[in-house]
Amino acid sequence: MLPEPNALVLVAVLKQPRDLEIARLLGWYRIPLRSAPKVISVDYLAFYQSGAFEAHKWRIQYFAAIKGHELTTRGELIQDEADHPFARHEYYKIQLGPLAHLPQPILAEKWRRITFFYTTGEYMEKARNINELVVEDDERRTLWQALRERAERQQGYGVSDLPELDVGPAVLAALLGVRTYRTSRTK
């Protein structure tokens, strides 16, 4: 079953197949604090599979509901890599529900290098390629308002921690993780 249309979704990158196995078997995903998106209190993670997935690269095939999150170190998360250079760096540990498989993968036709960006359950339901997950210009303010309200309630942010809604289109696109902004889906 796909996320509800109004669900907040964070598209996250799986760099290695091992990351998918951790999410599937152990029920968590990690995000380095230093490169984390502004808001992690969303309803779902959608997993973009990098080039390391070979025959299943450059696509979103899986998603999972978020059950909670905590701040920890990489060394605590991956104890068999205690000597890793980032072992003492802080990471968000995102607790996940069971992984769900999309009925049809969402492919990256032109986009290959993806970082975190936000979308909605409605966009996920309709998208056939990654570009179709990008929230339209006129709907970005609504998405940012929902993310901002969620962050204030669940992440403990004060109002001053997140920009108000009267930011320009380029700043709003950057906050949502969108590198380019369009005026219609046909572009």
Q: Is the dihedral of CA 106, 110, 114, 119 positive or negative?
A: negative
- pLDDT for the residue numbered 158: 46
- Comparison of pLDDT for 166 and 46, the residue scoring more: 46
Query: CATH top-level class for 8-135?
Result: mainly beta
**139-160 tens-digit pLDDT:** 888 888 888 888 887 755 444 4
Residue with tokens 């997140």: 162
pLDDT band of 187, cuts 50, 70, 90 = very low
Backbone angles phi, psi at 40, to 5 degrees: -110, -5
- Whole-angstrom Cα distance, residue 143 to residue 92? 22
Nearest to 60 by CA among 8, 135, 124: 124
| Percent of residues, the chain, with pLDDT higher than 70 | 82
Please report, for the chain, the start and end positions of each structural domain, with discontinuous segments joined by +: 8-135
- pLDDT for the residue numbered 137: 78
**Could you please report the per-residue DSSP string of 49-78?**
E-GGGGGG-SEEEEEEEEEEEEEEEHHHH-
- pLDDT for the residue numbered 162: 53
Nearest to 124 by CA among 147, 92, 101, 146: 101
**115-131 tens-digit pLDDT:** 899 999 999 999 999 99
**30-84 tens-digit pLDDT:** 999 999 998 999 999 999 999 999 999 999 999 999 999 999 989 898 888 888 8
pLDDT band of 138, cuts 50, 70, 90 = confident
- pLDDT for the residue numbered 174: 61
- Whole-angstrom Cα distance, residue 32 to residue 72? 10
**What does pTM read for this prediction?**
0.82
